[in-house]
């Protein structure tokens, strides 16, 4: 084979390899995430690359999508962030205060197991957080009398905005944007009109933990002595968790007389 023929063959092989690489790139699905969700901007580009495609799959092929809020919570942004960083503490105090049978256990630095005591159980992964936003990935199931066990995955984007207008105490407004995707096997057996109903019901269950945090925050503001008493009751909270509760309560303004004589357990 002449040098010219060898050169032409090498060029053809090189061109073919470039074409195959381009074709494989074109066939690879894009996992790029949009920053805008429900008129809010989230730092989705900060999500670890190992999670990007899983998040994209839910957002790109959701069963239901919704926005909840703004919800006002009478805590500073630092206090609210601290509360969300202690899911097991939230669960313990919510139970002791009679707010609900919520349970949670830490499974890692950014992962925890939850059970709402009413048929919902799952694992929550915190993918990103900063003082103004959090992004969660949830996997779980829900048992009910109406439907068999429903498996679902969800992406929750949380926006936290400190209240700027004059307030007697610091407060934040939070907005939750949720994308929920039900198990495909379940969807195959449901008519399209029923899917959103099931999806919305499962979404409300998945968001029980955020509701528990808000209700605990309200109890901390209105009845700090009661919350502290329950935190000190045996079995006591861990040293770090108890220190967090005491620090948060110490930063809150004293409740009014009407709040002290309200309906809460004295």
Compute the average pLDDT of residues 213-221. Answer: 89
Backbone φ, ψ for residue 140 (5° rounding): -170, -170
Residue 265 forms beta bridges with which residues? Answer: none
116 CB contacts (<8 Å, ≥6 apart)?
100, 101, 102, 103, 205, 208, 209
Separation of alpha carbons 12 and 7, rounded Å: 9
Structural domains of the chain ordered from first start: 45-256 (3.30.530.20)
Is the model's pLDDT at 14 over the cut of 50?
no
Is the model's pLDDT at 220 over the cut of 50?
yes
Average pLDDT along the chain: 79
Rounded to the nearest 10 degrees, how much is the dihedral formed by the CA atoms of 115, 116, 119, 125?
-50
Q: Is 123 exposed, middle or buried (0-12, 13-18, 19+ CB in 10 A)?
A: middle
Percentage of the chain beyond pLDDT 90 is 23
Give me the pLDDT at residue 199, please: 61
pTM of the model: 0.78
Is the model's pLDDT at 22 over the cut of 50?
no
Give me the pLDDT at residue 101, please: 84
Separation of alpha carbons 49 and 26, rounded Å: 19
Is the model's pLDDT at 49 over the cut of 80?
yes
Give me the pLDDT at residue 141, please: 85
Compute the average pLDDT of residues 217-233. Answer: 91
Question: For residue 213, which of 74, 110, 108, 40 has the smallest C-alpha distance?
Answer: 74
Which of these ranges, 18-22, 78-82, 132-136, has the smallest mean pLDDT?
A: 18-22
pLDDT digits (tens, 9 = 90+) for 63-99: 888 888 898 888 888 888 988 988 888 889 988 998 8
Compute the average pLDDT of residues 237-259. Answer: 78
Is the model's pLDDT at 25 over the cut of 50?
no
Is the model's pLDDT at 105 over the cut of 90?
no
């Amino acid at each position: 084979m002449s040098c010219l023929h060898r050169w032409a063959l090498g060029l053809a092989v090189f061109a073919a390899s470039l074409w195959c690489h381009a074709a494989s790139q074109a066939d690879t699905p894009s996992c790029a995430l949009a920053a805008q969700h429900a008129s809010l901007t989230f730092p989705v580009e900060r999500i670890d690359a190992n999670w990007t495609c899983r998040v994209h799959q839910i957002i790109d092929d959701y069963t239901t999508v919704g926005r909840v809020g703004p919800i006002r919570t009478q805590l500073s942004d630092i206090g609210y962030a601290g509360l969300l960083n202690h899911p097991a503490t939230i669960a313990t105090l919510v139970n002791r205060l009679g707010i609900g049978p919520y349970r949670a256990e830490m499974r890692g630095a950014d992962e925890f197991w939850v059970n709402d005591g009413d048929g919902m159980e799952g694992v929550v992964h915190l993918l990103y957080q900063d003082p103004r936003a959090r992004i969660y990935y949830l996997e779980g199931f829900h048992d009910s009398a109406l439907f068999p066990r429903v498996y679902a995955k969800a992406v929750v984007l949380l926006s936290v905005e400190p209240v700027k207008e004059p307030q007697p105490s610091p407060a934040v407004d939070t907005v939750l944007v949720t994308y929920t995707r039900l198990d495909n096997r379940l969807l195959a057996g449901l008519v399209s009109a029923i899917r959103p109903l099931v999806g919305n019901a499962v979404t409300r269950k998945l968001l029980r933990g955020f509701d528990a945090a808000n209700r605990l925050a309200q109890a901390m503001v209105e009845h700090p002595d009661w919350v502290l008493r329950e935190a000190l009751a045996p079995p006591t909270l861990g040293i770090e968790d108890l220190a967090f509760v005491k620090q948060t309560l110490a930063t809150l303004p004293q409740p009014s007389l009407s709040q002290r004589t309200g309906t809460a357990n004295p």
